[in-house]
Every structure is written in structure tokens, then in C-alpha cells.
Amino acid sequence: NAGVIQTPRHKVTGKGQEATLWCEPISGHSAVFWYRQTIVQGLEFLTYFRNQAPIDDSGMPKERFSAQMPNQSHSTLKIQSTQPQDSAVYLCASSGDSQNTLYFGAGTRLSVL
Amino acid sequence: QQKVQQSPESLSVPEGGMASLNCTSSDRNFQYFWWYRQHSGEGPKALMSIFSDGDKKEGRFTAHLNKASLHVSLHIRDSQPSDSALYFCAASRPGYQNFYFGKGTSLTVIP
């Protein structure tokens, strides 16, 4: 079991460019979560899917951010027209045990110049 | 508004000492609590969960929950340098899989 895999580990974009972040959850896990981590805000919930269906996207900025889960083996977080304030570590987690324990990937560090 | 608050922001303890971390919630719907630990360059990893009032012990780690005051704490005895990390408290509501995290407590164990 390789755990949750996130790619790329680091991404640098110019202001206004698009960034797509990828997440491969643990096989058999039914829920996938996206969080954003910054020093100032800590871990912020963005969105989550259960059995590939979007359940709660209340943490997603309404413009420019979108998430999809086209199949059970991967999810993507897309940020259009990236801004410097989008710079953060984006963490994906999956859950599938009875206690809903989150298993996090190592994260993607996004730097917007 | 931060739904989960942690204190202190940072903490230093000598090797072999006791570290005590605190977490309070402003949402009475939260019933389930977890502690996660994050080492530099890694994602957070679950340490332990606590769902009932009282203490729960796992090795050197003891969590305490008081639902009436919405307070949960984590105590680490015989702290080791490898315990140096960022510790997060997380909470969720019954029927929801969504988790809310505090901003974390940075623990440094001094050899």
C-alpha cells in the first residue's frame, strides 16, 4: 500500500496561469478530501467526495477553484488564473475505515510568482 | 471564524518531559475528535481518536475529552526528539465525514 499519492510535489506557476493538482487515494477508500495549508490559516477544508460524488465544497473559493473525481482512483484540484495568495501546500486525504481516519498524502507545494 | 482553537501555538519541553496540548471547539455539534501529527515535509498522520468523555491512552500518548466544555487535550509523557512536530486537533459532527482542524501546536523536544 503506497498510501495517498499526490503529484507534483512542487509546482511553480506565474500569476494568471492554471494549475492542476493530482491525487491518487488509497485503493478501496470511499472518501477523498482536499485541504489547503498555510502558516497563517493552518489547515483549511476545501472539498470532499464520497464514492466519487461531490458532497461538500463549502471551503472552496467560489471563483477559480474546481475539483473533480472522474473515477475512484484519482481526483484533481484545478486552480484557474492563479494568484500569489493561492500559494500554499495543498493536501489530499482519503478515508475508508470505520473511524473515518484521514490518510494524507505528502502534499503539493504550489508557488505562484 | 476558526471552529477549533488550539493552544499553545508553540511548546518546548526537555527530552523525557511531559508535553500538554489543548484544543477547544466553538461548535457544540462536534462530537468526535482526533489528534494528528505532522513532521516537516510530510502530510499529517493520525495519532489517536477520542469520542467519549474521559481518558484514552495509547502508549506514551493520553487524550482527554470533556464534551460539556468542548475541551480535548493531548499529553505526551517521556517526550522524545522524534516527537518534535506540528500537532493538529480535528473535530467532526455525527453524520458528517468532514473534519475541521485547528491551526496546530508546534512541539519541540530539546535533547
User: Of B88, B97, B100, which has the smallest distance from its Cβ to A100's Cβ?
Assistant: B97
The arithmetic mean of pLDDT across residues B32-37, rounded, is 95
pLDDT at B1 over 70: no
Residue A99 has pLDDT above 90, yes or no: no
**Mean pLDDT, range A1-13, rounded to an integer:** 93
Would you state the pLDDT for residue A97? Answer: 77
Query: pLDDT exceeding 90 applies to what percent of chain A?
Result: 86
Note whether B31 contacts A: Cβ–Cβ < 8 A: no
pLDDT digits (tens, 9 = 90+) for A50-83: 999 999 999 999 899 999 999 999 999 999 999 9
Q: Which residues of B touch A26 (CB under 8 A)?
A: none
Cross-chain Cβ contact B99/A104 below 8 Å = no
Instruction: Determine the 3-state secondary structure of B81 from DSSP.
Output: helix
Q: Do B103 and A41 touch (CB under 8 A)?
A: yes
Calculate mean pLDDT across residues B9-24. 97
Cβ within 8 Å, pair A100-B92: yes
Calculate how close chain B gets to A5, using CA atoms only, in Å.
Answer: 11
Name the residue of chain B whose CA is nearest to A9's CA.
Answer: B41
Out of B34, B43, B102, whose CB is closest to A105?
B43
Contact partners, residue A62, CB within 8 Å, separation at least 6: none
pLDDT band, very low/low/confident/very high, at A1 (cuts 50, 70, 90): low
C-alpha to C-alpha distance for A103 and A25, rounded to whole angstroms: 9
The mean predicted confidence, pLDDT, of chain B is 94
pLDDT digits (tens, 9 = 90+) for B50-101: 999 999 999 999 999 999 999 999 999 999 999 999 999 999 988 777 889 9
Q: Taking a C-beta distance cutoff of 8 angstroms, is the pair A4, A26 a contact?
A: yes
| Cross-chain Cβ contact B104/A48 below 8 Å | no
Mean pLDDT of B11-22: 97
CA B96 to chain A, closest CA, distance in angstroms equals: 10
The strand pairing partners of B86, in sequence order, are: B38, B106
